[in-house]
Homo-oligomer: A and B are copies of this chain.
Amino acid sequence: MTNIKNNAATQETRRKLIEAAGEVFAAQGLHAATIKEITSKAGVNTAAINYHFSDKFELYAAVVRRALDDMCGQKEYHAKELTGTPEQQLEQVIFEMLENTSDPTRPSWCTTILAHEFSQPTAALDAVVEELIRPQVNRMNHIIRQILGNDATEKQILQAALSVVSQHVHYSYNHQLIRRLQPQAFDQCTWQDMAKHIARFSIAGLRDMRK
């Protein structure tokens, strides 16, 4: 209440640092990223990281937390009511997932940072799993259970969910390799195209499981 100005300046510096660190950590990874690159990109002093955060790793943790907030905090989509038949709901979810990882208004490093966490888990992974992934898994399983009917076993639901989600994950996280292998076809394919395809492909697969 007293020294708001100072506090504001501090917050601003922290924000700049997280933003810069997000980009650098996304591009290089936790270890390969250097303090110098981050601070020079943020336009602050080398010692600022140790001053504002206490550690390089603490900064990283703050970045992960920020990515999480961006991914599931501000987006209201998982509060948004799904409507229509279960198959229509599945379509909506698939669209949301691809839209989310393709959203150009969100700092592009958020996805990458989280992908890093998946392949090289740090202490920050626990939060990611529980806060971000678990709810999505639950929602997906709920929809699939409705589509497959009450006879479906847990094993079947898992398999079905994996089949649906995997298409999103592979497309969204391995796009560099995919584009490299088949550049023309890949570049013709917007995320909307892909969402449509995944939805149709998946629903056909799910219907077949019901037989």
Binding site for B on A (CB under 8 A): 28-32, 112, 115-121, 125, 129, 133-134, 137, 154-155, 157-160, 162-163, 165-167, 169-171, 173-174, 176-178, 180-182, 184-186, 188-189, 193-194, 197-198, 200-209
Contact = CB atoms under 8 A, between A and B. Distances in A.
Contacts of A205: 200-202, 204-205
Contacts of A125: 177
12 contacts: A116-B120, A117-B177, A118-B174, A119-B176, A120-B176, A121-B177, A134-B181, A137-B181, A154-B188, A159-B194, A162-B167, A163-B198
A128 to B, nearest CB: 10
Contact of A129 (B118, B180, B184, B185): B180
Contacts of A157: 185
A23 B188 CA distance: 39
Number of copies: 4
B119 A189 contact: no
B154 A184 contact: yes
A76 B117 CA distance: 33
B121 A119 contact: no
A155 B200 contact: no
A171 B207 CA distance: 21
Q: Which 3 residue pairs spanning A and B have beta carbons closest together?
A: A166-B170, A204-B208, A201-B205
